[in-house]
Every structure is written in structure tokens, then in C-alpha cells.
Amino acid sequence: MDYQLANLLFTLFAWTVLTIFFVATVFWLIEIVIIGRARRGEIEHEPAEVEVRVMTVAAERVVQATVDQLPTELDTIRVIAERPITIDGAEVCVVPSEFECEATRKGRALEWARRELNCNASYILYLDEDTLLREFYGLPDADIVQLSEQPIRSDSWLTYFAEIFRMGFQLEQAVFPKFRYPLYAWGGGIAVRKELEDQITWDVNTVTEDTNFVWRAFQAGECDLQFLNIRAMNQAPPSVREMIYQRRRWISGAARDSHLLPRRYQLLSLMRNAAWGLVFVSPLLALPLVTPVTVVLFPVVYGYGILFQLVGLFGWAILGYWYYGERPSVLVALLVTIPLVAIIHAAGAFWAIFQPTTEFRVTQKVPPAEVEDSRTAEIAVTEKHTDSEQTTEETEPVEPRQP
């Protein structure tokens, strides 16, 4: 009886997990194949109509490289910092320690800048401290314009592979303008119409301020989104540990803010987040295939279901590789490690399902000179040359930021 009960419980677990995976994968396929990417409108707002705001705590060298790489057409640049720093080519605005609002951490800084800084631009382009934007031609006429993301490797090959894998899946962002609500947003490269920002504000206590803002904007009424295929390069987490904390925050924030969505979108968000997190325990699904101890109902269909998910797993990895245009050796290493990469990529999401966080943990970044990536080689050379002309005090590493 105990043996039969164990098999029954495993069957319920395995089929539930596999069904969640299947539904999430089919929905993604419908997005990409049937719905298709949204058509981008013509560029109507010149770079002169855009103010850039780079958000940081106090990562001076990281931000300096970000500012140095901005296209010259973007001539209104502000750095919103929480401690005094010196940045050439940008106005540094320090959030006063006495400023209080409902938002915390990055959201608090965003809200202070919105309230206190005069802005004559039509749009504000928000960049994270490590976002390298090497081209920009203007914006289409939309309330929110999402730039595409392309993380670069920092200190870990595994986290870099996880980002390549994520980018393969995240090709779906180009479809979001066709939805009533976008499923998430990336705040490291997003432009917001100034009028909309003043209407919605950032004054909300959340750990995912970008997605929260977009969801509240669409909840408020008429709002449109466009996706701009200009790749903004940011840094992959420096370690697996940092990536796990980052993913945990993402899923925790999305789950906590899901009440902003209509019910059918809430169910969709819940299902997708569950699919992401349950990848962490997906190796258990292979038990009936490798041991006679565990039996699962409908074994033939079950086997085909697992095969379908494996095709999806490797398919997203290959799409991510195509998106990056990386070296063939990277593809080989990615395909060899993708089962492990997918599991560690899901660890933070799995953690968030059972123990969500309400804390905003900042992922540490390093200056581009310390990033081993061919796309930042010119930046690294420039920065090293500049550093050699500075004093010893100026070239000391930035202190790690505390979560």
C-alpha cells in the first residue's frame, strides 16, 4: 500500500510539473510563432528630446564608463546617486538622506528625481549604472519604450550562460506591445514619457520598480508600449550566488505586484513563474526513465512530454546564442552545461516561491576594464589609460555595496 501510495504521489507531482512546463512552453510558442513581434513605429522624437538618467548608489568608475559610452547625440545626462560622486560629462544629483516617501532604495531615488529635478525633455531614458548604450537614434511616439537587453560576462561563465539562455526566452519581449499588459519590464534600459511618469509616479514600495511602474501605467488607462531593438549591454551577475538572489527578487516582486493585473494575466504570471521555479526540481522528472522503482501513469506520453521540454530547453539556448552571435566554442560549452545552467538559473525563482523577499538587494558591478568581453575591449583600454593618469586614491576599487 505504501509503495502504491508513493507511486501515486509521484505521478501527481510529475504530471503537475510537466503540465505546467508544457503550458508555459506552448504559450511562448504561440507568442513567437502566431502572435509575432509588434511592428515598431517610426522614430518621431530626436535624441535632443530625451534626458538620460543613470541610477546608482555610488559606483563612480562603473558610471563613468557608462556615461563615456553614451552617444554624443544624448547631451542631457544626469546621474542619480545616493552618495556624492564625481562624473565627467554628466550632472550628478544626490538623493538627500532626509528625503522620505513610500518607495525604498532605487524606487526612492527615482521618485526624488521625479519630484525635485526640472526636466524639459519629452522623455526620460533610465539606465542602470552598468548599462552601456553605444547607439541611439531617437524614440518612437509611445508612452513607454523598452530597449533590448544584452548582458555581458563579468566573473562567472555559468551566470553568463544563464543570461544567454534567458535572452533566448526573452525574445518574447518584442511581442509585448500587442498585449493588453506587458508581462514584465527591464528598467536598465527603458524610456518613459515625462507626462506619464508624473501621472503614475514611482512612489510605491516594491522590489521590482520597473515592472510595477509599467503595470500601474497600463492599469491607469490608455497607455502604449513599443519595443526598440537597440541593445543595451549590462553585466551578468558576478557569481551564481548573486544571480540566485537577483532572480529571487524578480519573482518575489512580480508575485507581490501581480494584483495589478487582470485575473487572467495574474493566472498567466503565476503559471510562468511556477514553471521557471520548478525547473530547479526538474531532474526528478527523469526518475521513471532511469529506475524501475518509480512508476508513472501513461509512461509513453510522459516520455514524449519530457522530450518536448528538452527540445525547448536546448532551443532557448540556441536562440540565445543566435541573439548574441557568440563564438562557436561558447555554443558548445553552453549546450554541454545547459542542464546545470537551467537549474541554477531557476534556483532563485524556486526559492522565491517558498520564501519571497521584500528586500532590494543590489547586484555588485565592476568597471568595464575588469570585464573580459570583446565588445567592451575599447572601453577597457580607454579606462585603463585614464586610470593610469589618476592618483592612487582615485584608482582604488569601489567598495562593495551592502544589500
Q: Is the pLDDT of residue 292 over 80?
A: no
Q: How many whole angstroms separate alpha carbon 286 and alpha carbon 237?
A: 30
Q: Is the pLDDT of residue 369 over 90?
A: no
Confidence of residue 287 (pLDDT cuts 50, 70, 90): confident
What is the per-residue DSSP string for 245-311? HHHHHHHHHHHHHGGGS-HHHHHHHHHHHHHHHHGGGGGGGGHHHH-SS---SSHHHHHHHHHHHHH
Grid cell digits, residue 159: 551566470
Q: Is the pLDDT of residue 380 over 60?
A: no
Residue 388: its pLDDT value, please?
37
Question: How many CA atoms lie less than 13 Å away from 296 in the CB half-sphere?
Answer: 25
pLDDT top residue among 286 and 150: 150
Q: How many whole angstroms separate alpha carbon 188 and alpha carbon 211?
A: 11
Which percentage of the chain shows pLDDT scores above 70? Answer: 90
- Closest Cα partner for 157 from 236, 247, 250? 236
Confidence of residue 293 (pLDDT cuts 50, 70, 90): low
How big, in percent rounded to 5, are the helix, strand and coil portions of the chain? 55, 10, 35
Q: Can you tell me the mean pLDDT for 380-398?
A: 39
- What is the CB neighbour count within 10 angstroms for residue 388? 8
Q: Is the pLDDT of residue 36 over 90?
A: yes
- Which residues lie closer than 8 Å to 20 by C-beta, 6 or more apart? 271, 274, 275, 278
Confidence of residue 353 (pLDDT cuts 50, 70, 90): very high
Summary mean pLDDT of the chain? 90
Q: Can you tell me the mean pLDDT for 356-380?
A: 70
- Label residue 263 exposed, middle or buried (CB < 10 Å: 0-12, 13-18, 19+): exposed
Residue 403: its pLDDT value, please?
30
- Closest Cα partner for 124 from 80, 81, 72? 80
- pTM, to two decimals: 0.89
- Closest Cα partner for 274 from 28, 27, 30, 20? 20
Q: For 187-227, what is each residue's pLDDT tens digit?
A: 999 999 999 999 999 999 999 999 999 999 999 988 999 99
- Closest Cα partner for 127 from 212, 73, 57, 189? 189
Confidence of residue 391 (pLDDT cuts 50, 70, 90): very low
pLDDT top residue among 386 and 393: 386
Is residue 37 within 8 Å of 351, Cβ to Cβ?
no
Q: Is the pLDDT of residue 44 over 50?
A: yes
Quote the radius of gyration of the chain (alpha carbons, Å).
22
Q: For 106-162, what is each residue's pLDDT tens digit?
A: 999 999 999 999 999 999 999 999 999 999 999 999 999 999 999 999 889 999 999
Q: Can you tell me the mean pLDDT for 284-304?
A: 81
Identify the helix (H) or strand (E) that includes residue 333: helix 328-354
Q: Can you tell me the mean pLDDT for 251-257?
A: 95
Q: For 166-195, what is each residue's pLDDT tens digit?
A: 999 999 999 999 999 999 999 999 999 999
